């Protein structure tokens, strides 16, 4: 055997420790980048969901000359419900025509009659949210992470007051492009709602006084990511919203917000109101 062959040896313990340390440091440095990449992917997927919802809204508008109602009800008493809401009405425009056609719209939404009301509609689930696919907080209906814009005033306990709703979705609403006086690029259509504010449900509202199942207000006391009644998300620093023109924007938690309904309103309240005549500016 040659002397060259005799000198071949493996790593020493010290060398192995050094290599392991270098690998550990490299992984530690890479971990934040990997986490950031995953968060960005979830954010992109959420934006794509909202783009699909906005496109579905526009296709619905092309057919019916208005956006779908927030929820449909004949009796305005607070306890009346459950009632079908805008999420089920967009289903045929979100590749869910078969599901839509199985629903009996001649009777109120009833889980005992149709398990389809618990179905997972992929466009209604944000991948960053940890809510279960069936929302136990909201009557066991299928979960949605996207809520309609009710307007700049708080949701009332009774729909008798809802004629004052200034958003796009409220009881028996029939808001068309022509009704959005501030411009479709300056008005929220749909925003995120995650587990921190009990998410939402896509087929219905449980009753008139549970409007938060399908719609959310932009009033100052329900500022973004603050309370159970807020628009909310698991994305860092804010939430995504689809505007009425179909654009999707990320709105920061610190967006300007003001108490009261009179001018000057906060930017958040202006975006919630479809026709207050106040200039929004940059946001």
Residue 32 lies in a domain: no
Residue 14 lies in a domain: no
Residue 115 lies in a domain: yes
At 1 the pLDDT is 47
Q: Which backbone phi and psi does 189 adopt, to 5 degrees?
A: -105, -60
Number of Cβ atoms within 10 Å of the Cβ of 188: 28
Question: In the numeric block, which tokens belong to residue 77?
Answer: 């008493």
- Give this prediction's pTM: 0.87
At 259 the pLDDT is 87
Tallying the residues shown for the chain, one arrives at 283
Which candidate, 282, 258, 187, 48, places its Cα nearest to that of 56? Answer: 48
- Rg of the chain over all Cα atoms, to the nearest angstrom: 24
Distance CA 194, CA 251 (A): 15
Residue 154 lies in a domain: yes
Residue 24 lies in a domain: no
Q: How far apart are the first and last CA of the chain?
A: 78
Residue 93 lies in a domain: yes
Domain count, the chain: 1
The whole domain housing 57 covers 46-272
Residue 221 lies in a domain: yes
Written as tens digits, the pLDDT of the chain (283 aa) is: 445 555 556 667 666 666 666 766 666 665 566 666 687 789 999 999 999 999 999 999 999 999 999 999 988 788 888 999 999 999 999 999 999 999 999 999 999 999 999 999 999 999 999 999 999 999 999 999 999 999 999 988 766 655 579 999 999 999 999 999 999 999 999 999 999 999 999 999 999 999 999 999 999 999 999 999 999 999 999 999 999 999 999 999 999 999 876 667 899 999 999 999 998 888 8
Residue 152 lies in a domain: yes
């Amino acid at each position: 055997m040659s002397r060259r062959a005799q000198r071949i040896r493996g790593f020493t313990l010290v060398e192995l420790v050094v290599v392991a340390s270098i690998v550990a440091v490299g992984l530690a440095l890479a971990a934040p980048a990997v986490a950031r990449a995953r968060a960005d992917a979830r954010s992109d997927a959420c934006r794509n969901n909202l783009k699909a919802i906005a496109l579905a809204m526009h296709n619905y508008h092309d057919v019916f000359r208005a956006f779908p109602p927030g929820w449909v009800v004949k009796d305005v008493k607070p306890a009346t419900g459950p009632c079908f809401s805008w999420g089920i009405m967009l289903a045929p425009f979100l590749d869910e025509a078969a599901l839509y056609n199985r629903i009996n719209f001649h009777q109120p939404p009833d889980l005992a009659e149709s398990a389809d009301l618990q179905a997972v509609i992929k466009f209604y689930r944000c991948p960053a949210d940890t809510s279960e696919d069936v929302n136990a907080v909201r009557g066991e209906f299928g979960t949605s992470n996207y809520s309609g814009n009710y307007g700049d005033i708080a949701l009332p306990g009774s729909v008798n007051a809802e004629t004052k709703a200034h958003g796009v979705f409220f009881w028996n609403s029939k808001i068309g492009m022509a009704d959005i006086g501030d411009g479709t690029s300056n008005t929220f259509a749909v925003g995120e709602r995650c587990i921190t504010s009990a998410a939402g449900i896509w087929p219905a509202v449980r009753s008139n006084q549970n409007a938060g199942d399908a719609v959310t207000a932009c009033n100052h006391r329900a500022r973004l990511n603050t309370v159970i009644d807020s628009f909310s998300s698991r994305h860092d620093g804010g939430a995504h919203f689809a505007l009425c023109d179909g654009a999707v924007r990320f709105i920061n938690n610190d967006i300007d917000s003001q108490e009261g309904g009179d001018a000057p309103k906060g930017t958040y309240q202006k975006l919630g109101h479809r026709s207050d005549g106040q200039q929004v500016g940059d946001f």
